[in-house]
A = this chain, B = another copy of it.
Amino acid sequence: MTDLAQIMQQVRDEARRRGVRWTNQRQIIVEIFIASNDHVTAEELHHRVRSIDASVSAATVYRTINLLVEIGVAHKRHFSSGSASFESALTKNHHDHLVCMSCGVITEFVHEPLEIQQNEVAQAHGFQLLHHRMELYGMCRTCTARGATVPASAWHALTDR
């Protein structure tokens, strides 16, 4: 549906509308970010960007990804690792995550009943629900099949955040 060029246009227009200048660095960073439609850390993104223009600094990658979050083009997530992950907000709808503690693969899912239950909980507590965070951790089919085990480090990473 929404192809790369079209999305780029959209982001660029939104940036311009906010008086944000469109630099070469931003073009590269945003292009790579949108193109890699999985969960990327700032460091990974910086690394990928460097392969196109080695002179782009980490600071600029951080500044740009933060800009994208601010204008609503990217979502920032913190799974059970030290650094934040980012995902495009334009190419996907609301979803939650399943994280494999063995291979690290992140699967997205939507489950309406869960959303409904959440609203019920909130309502029962007189809470006006505005946002939620929900992550399921475990072992994916593939890892279970090959008899993998959850490394101790994954447990620590999990209970450590």
Contact = CB atoms under 8 A, between A and B. Distances in A.
Interface of A: 69, 75-76, 78, 84, 98, 100-101, 107, 109, 111, 113-114, 117-118, 120-122, 124-141, 144, 150, 158-161
A109 B138 contact: no
A20 B131 CA distance: 42
B161 A76 contact: yes
Contact of A138 (B129, B136, B150): B129
A70 to B, nearest CB: 9
Contacts of A150: 130
A144 B161 contact: no
A121 B99 CA distance: 12
Q: Is the interface of A mostly helix, strand, loop or mixed?
A: mixed
Contacts of A134: 132-135
A107 to B, nearest CB: 6
A158 to B, nearest CB: 6
A69 B121 contact: no
Q: Which of A69, A75, A138, A140 has the most chain B CB within a 10 Å cutoff?
A: A138
A41 to B, nearest CB: 13
Contacts of A113: 117, 120
Contacts of A130: 101, 137-139, 150
A97 to B, nearest CB: 10
A75 B159 contact: yes
